[in-house]
Structure 1
């Protein structure tokens, strides 16, 4: 048996409380004076022995109740040995949408197929995880899979490779399923005075390119222009192209001098988002002791100060360094509140895709950035997707843990009922 919270065992010192109460609670002692006790014989009756036995039994039960509560708080887990499987196949959930791959799977005889998803559920289990998984983050959890060999069938999308390449003490064979989807489509338009700029995505499994074309609003290829879209005729085909929103985003960066470097990195990222997303972003910088306007409307507040974070009712990013965090900007338990978990450097801003993370927070689903991502079908080669193998010896046992807390509650209930019955019978 192992304990997830062994520090709670210090609470076992509370077992001394019932013992102290028992020793102090001897009842009222009354002295009776008699003339002579010479002829009185001292003897231990069966009834007196029974009383002492009941007192000790009650003491034991009460100490046992406290002990069981402490053990429950320590979160006990029972170790169960498990046998390793020879080979385990892990399948990218995105591949479940492709009939050709499912037909390929039906023709194979696989041992222990599982989904390449959090917890690695069985292949028969239903899974509903939209989007591309984080391949390398899941790879770090492969220690949970008890297998001599692991094969991962993955779509291999570039957007699924985030963060530094992991190093794990386990060989993994990656199989990237070919994706030859070609894209050539208009995704958005934007008005500039008397002209219109059209945005087209062209790409395949190797590249995704955003191309722009500027037309006069009187160009013969423009069939109709509405408030939210235009209709374009090209190569005897008509295309309905939505206009990008004209909303201006307001961002405030409040910073102390020690976080001036972070302010510069974040400002550069916001400038890139404004240019790429074709949406104006107004950045206000509040330095050191400059007055911060509490009620001013903002789409995002970046708080690089040691002072408490003000509540503005919209998205907020505050400095909160955390060496155990998995992401550079991590969402908290409070809605729209995020933490910047590291001091910014060139290395982590590039590796953790700071600009993309900010774009997700700021840009709506119909922004240019999000539209391009929908048509990004680039695939990373198998050699680039593979994780690094660690040669360090790891003392790892193939064990699983069973939660025995429900059984503890059952024993505790039985002991508590027994103690109450005995206490009532003995009036103690």
Structure 2
């Protein structure tokens, strides 16, 4: 037997409390005055022996009741012998649509095969094949599988990497299966005059990009168009896309003299975006002598000043140089906060496409963002994807049986017996 909370076993010392109370309790003693005890005999009747027996038995029941409660708090588990599988295959559910992989899986020895999903169900079970598993969380649950060796077939998508990289046993082997094809699907649309600006996610194992396609409202591919949704047909496939609202954006650019050059680059890019009809933008600039106060109208704040960035609920772009950044504008840890990672000049404004970066920031929409994440097919390199291997020797896997329900049954029976005896003896 093992205990999940063995610290509670120290409470067993409390069993001495009812024992001490019993030993120190003399009960109600009545003194009867007699002239002489010369002619009285010492007697040990059956009745007195029965009384003492009942008292000891009642003491035992109370100590047993307290001991069972302490045992329950320690969470006992009974070890049982189980037969481990020699080899277990875990398959990410989305791979079921990969014909090449399914043909390969059929050729494998028919060992224990399960889905790489919550609970690791058998392949006969119905699972959600459209949701990407959270790889690190599932990796932490792998010790629950009783197998000498585990092989995990997975796509290794970046969107499935959440949380801290776990450590797994050396007997777990990870194999990344390459995607069959790239994904090109719509994630949002905007109505601009007589045209429709369609945003499509193009994603492969290497990169995910947001593409823009402009088509007229009367295009043959447009099936129906409402204020909320666009239904269109492309290559025989009908898709429904949410319509993004095209209200005027109010952008405030706050700057110091040291960042006047950055202010000019940013405002020029914003004017270009507005001129080409991608988004109506109202630009307001604030120099160092003007104190910023949050008010309406304000949708986006560009903060080109030293010091603390205002904590507001609107999208904020702040100058925070970062030599390790991969792009000119990157999201920060705080919601709606983005960092401008370099001082701007002609070279990086062109090569790193400042205007397109601002377009993605201004078109930041939760619906489109969620759709873009769902279409993300980027794969983490295998050397970076594999979880850490535990350096310590793995412990022998054993199966344990929770005996807590039986303890509760014993507590109930002992409590009933104690109450009956206590009421009978009036103790």
TM-score after normalising by structure 2: 0.63
Distance in structure 2 (CA, Å) of the matches to 1:181 and 1:96: 15
Structure 1 residue 61, shift from structure 2 partner: 0.5
Partner of 2:253: none
| Counterpart position of 1:4 | 4
8 Å Cα contact 1:83-1:398 kept in structure 2: no
1:333 aligned residue: none
CA spacing shift, 1:27–1:242, aligned 2, 3 Å: closer
What CA RMSD, in Å, does the superposition of the two structures yield over aligned residues?
4.5
1:175 aligns with 2:138: no
For residues 279 and 418 of structure 1, what CA distance do their matches in structure 2 show? 81
Q: Distance in 2 between matches of 1:405 and 1:31?
A: 50
* Deviation, structure 1 residue 409: 1.3
Whole-angstrom CA distance in 2 between matches of 1:31 and 1:46: 22
- Partners of 1:236 and 1:394 in 2: CA distance: 56
Please report how far the alpha carbon of residue 151 of structure 1 lies from its aligned counterpart in structure 2 after TM superposition: 0.8
Task: Give the C-alpha shift of residue 422 in structure 1.
Answer: 2.6
Q: Which has the larger radius of gyration?
A: 2
1:207, 1:378 within 8 Å by CA — same for their partners in 2?
A: yes
After alignment, is 188-197 or 227-236 more displaced?
227-236
In the TM superposition, residue 358 of structure 1 has moved relative to its aligned partner by 4.8
Q: Which residue of 2 aligns with 1:131?
A: 131
- What SS is found at the alignment partner of 1:40? coil
Q: Which residue of 2 aligns with 1:146?
A: 146
Distance 1:83 1:371 in 2: 44
Instruction: Answer yes or no: is 1:421 the counterpart of 2:413.
Output: no
By how many angstroms is 1:56 displaced? 0.6
Relative to structure 1, the CA distance from residue 73 to residue 365 in structure 2 (aligned partners, 3 Å threshold; closer, same or farther) is farther
Partner of 1:197: 197
Matched ranges for 1:196-275 at <5 A: 197-213=197-213, 226-229=226-229, 242-245=242-245
Answer whether contact 1:172 1:386 (CA < 8 A) is retained.
no
Distance 1:46 1:126 in 2: 71
Give the corresponding residue for 1:407. 406
Deviation at 1:65, TM superposition (A): 0.8
Tell me, in whole angstroms, the C-alpha distance in 2 between the residues paired with 1:214 and 1:89: 46
SS where residue 18 of structure 2 aligns?
helix
1:237–1:381 Cα change, 3 Å: closer
What per-residue deviation string (whole Å, max 9, x for no partner) do you get for residues 136-169 of structure 1?
Answer: 3322332333322211122333322334544433
Equivalences for residues 18-167 of structure 1 within 5 A? 18-96=18-96, 105=105, 108-128=108-128, 131-163=131-163, 165-167=165-167
Cα contact 1:181–1:205 (8 A) shared by 2? no
Aligned partners of 1:235 and 1:11: how far apart in 2? 72
SS at match of 2:244: coil
1:57 is paired with a residue of what secondary structure?
helix
Indicate the SS of the match to 2:378.
coil
Distance 1:403 1:182 in 2: 48
Q: Which residue of 2 aligns with 1:322?
A: none
Structure 1 gaps of 5+ residues are 250-274, 281-292, 297-314, 316-345
Does the 8 Å contact 1:62/1:419 carry over to 2?
A: yes
Q: Structure 1 residues 395-404 or 1-10, which shifts more?
A: 1-10
Give CA deviations for 1:275-307 in whole Å, capped at 9, x if unaligned: 9xx999xxxxxxxxxxxx9xx9xxxxxxxxxxx
Offset of residue 64 of structure 1:
0.8
**Alpha-carbon distance in structure 1 between the residues aligned to 2:58 and 2:236:** 93
Mapped contact 1:365–1:371 kept (Cα < 8 A): no
Distance in 1 of aligned mates of 2:280 and 2:136: 32
Unmatched 5+ stretches in structure 2: 250-272, 274-278, 282-293, 297-312, 314-321, 337-362
**TM-score, scaled relative to structure 1:** 0.62
Number of residues paired by the alignment? Answer: 333
1:45-70 per-residue CA deviation (whole Å, 9 max, x = no partner) reads 22211211111111111111111112
Do the aligned partners of residues 71 and 107 (structure 1) sit closer, same or farther apart at CA in structure 2, a change above 3 Å counting? same
Residues 158, 380 of structure 1: 8 Å contact kept: yes
| 8 Å CA contact retained: 1:89, 1:110 | no
Distance in 1 (CA, whole Å) between partners of 2:195 and 2:159 is 34
* 1:402 CA drift (Å): 1.3
- For the 8 Å contact 1:208–1:377, the answer to whether it is kept is yes
Moved more, 409-418 or 175-184: 175-184
Q: Please say if residues 196 and 217 of structure 2, whose CA atoms lie closer than 8 Å, have aligned partners that are also in contact.
A: no
> How far off its partner does 1:230 sit?
5.6
How many Å separate the matches in 2 of 1:50 and 1:178? 81
Once residues 196 and 55 of structure 2 are traced to their aligned partners in structure 1, the CA distance between those partners, rounded to angstroms, is: 92
